Amino acid sequence: MKALAARRHHRLMPVVLLLLALLVTGGVYAALAPAPASADTATTDDIENGAKLFQANCATCHGPDAEGRENAPSLIGVGAAAVNFQVGTGRMPMQSNGPQAIAKPRQLDAEETEQLAAYVASLGPGPSTPTAEQVDPELGDASNGSAVFRTNCAMCHNAVGAGGALSEGKFAPALWETTPTHIYEAMLTGPQSMPVFNDATLTPEEKRDVISYLVEQRDGSAGGLDLGGLGPVSEGLWVWIVGIGALIGCSVWIGAKSS
């Protein structure tokens, strides 16, 4: 310590201090800087691999240049978010025609999905996948999310996200199992029948609030059995079959003579 104190007037001391300060600043920045979004890290390799995956899995319907066909939309400008949602939830590649593409076990793994997303994102500017912070339910305001969800989403997806029917065999799926990232991407891109809620009409904070509200619903109901949260259908069935059945049973027992 003494030796260090003796050298503090050395003429090279400012240089040493400056170097130390730069090192500390750089170190702190490296530790605290936000991780860049995955879409930005796509390399040309990713895009090339993505193009191959596209030709193998998607081009039959969406066309060799993703320009779309009669029954398959153009993918130019849909962005990485749409690919990550559609492929990540297994909706695409679609296996059969029907009223709507349904979620199934994913056909491409996470890395392949990312490469495919990088390729589609390279075709034209579109919404990119959200960061982990943007979809963190812990950071959202579930109370505001409830108000936003009631106005914008509950008419199709049910008040607690249990899903509901649309016309001609289409339906709004239940949101119990959907990951926060996929919920965010669905709002951003409007897959299939769902309308688009872009960042101007529903801000990223509001989207996170909605996710927070939906994740909170997964704890179930404070009142006990929520019977699927389906409202009068399941509750009515329960009351009419189990409730009235029990009342009839009691009446028969009270009226019967004892042996």
Letters for 105-144 (x = contact with another protein by CB under 8 A, - = none) are: ----------------------------------------
The CA–CA distances, whole Å, from 12 to 19, 21, 149 equal 11, 15, 63
Pick the piece of the chain touching another protein (CB under 8 A) from 35-43, 61-69, 133-141, 197-205: 197-205
Nearer to another protein, 51 or 188 (CB): 188
Residue 97 in contact with another protein, rule: CB under 8 A: no
Closer by beta carbon to another protein, 103 or else 159: 159
| Of the candidate residues 42, 54, 206, 230, the single one contacting another protein (CB under 8 A) | 206
Q: Which member of 3, 5, 12, 254 binds another protein (CB under 8 A)?
A: 254
Least distance CB 177 / another protein (angstroms): 18
* Residue of the chain from 13, 155, 247, 248 that contacts another protein (CB under 8 A): 155
Q: Please identify which residue in 23, 69, 221, 238 interacts with another protein, judged by CB under 8 A.
A: 221
Residues 6+ apart with CB under 8 A from 129: 37, 38, 39, 80, 81, 84, 117, 181, 185
216 binds another protein (CB under 8 A): yes
CB neighbours of 99 closer than 8 A, spacing ≥ 6? 168, 169, 170
Nearest to another protein of 89, 115 (CB atom): 89
CA nearest neighbour of 148 among 209, 201, 191, 99: 209
**Element (H or E) spanning 103, and its range?**
none
Residue 14 CA, distance from chain mean position: 51
Residue among 67 and 111 whose Cβ is closer to another protein: 67
Spatial separation of the C-alpha atoms in residues 126 and 129, rounded to whole Å: 10
Token pair 């990485």 is at which residue? 80
Distance of CA 82 to the CA centre of its chain: 11
Cα–Cα distance, 21 to 39 (Å, whole number)? 33
152 sits near another protein (criterion: CB under 8 A): yes
| Residue 165 parent element (H or E) | strand 164-165
The smaller minimum CB distance to another protein, of residues 48 and 74, is found at 74
Q: Rule CB under 8 A: which residues touch another protein?
A: 147-148, 151-152, 155-156, 164, 166-167, 170, 172, 190, 192-198, 200-202, 206, 216, 219-224, 253-254, 257-259
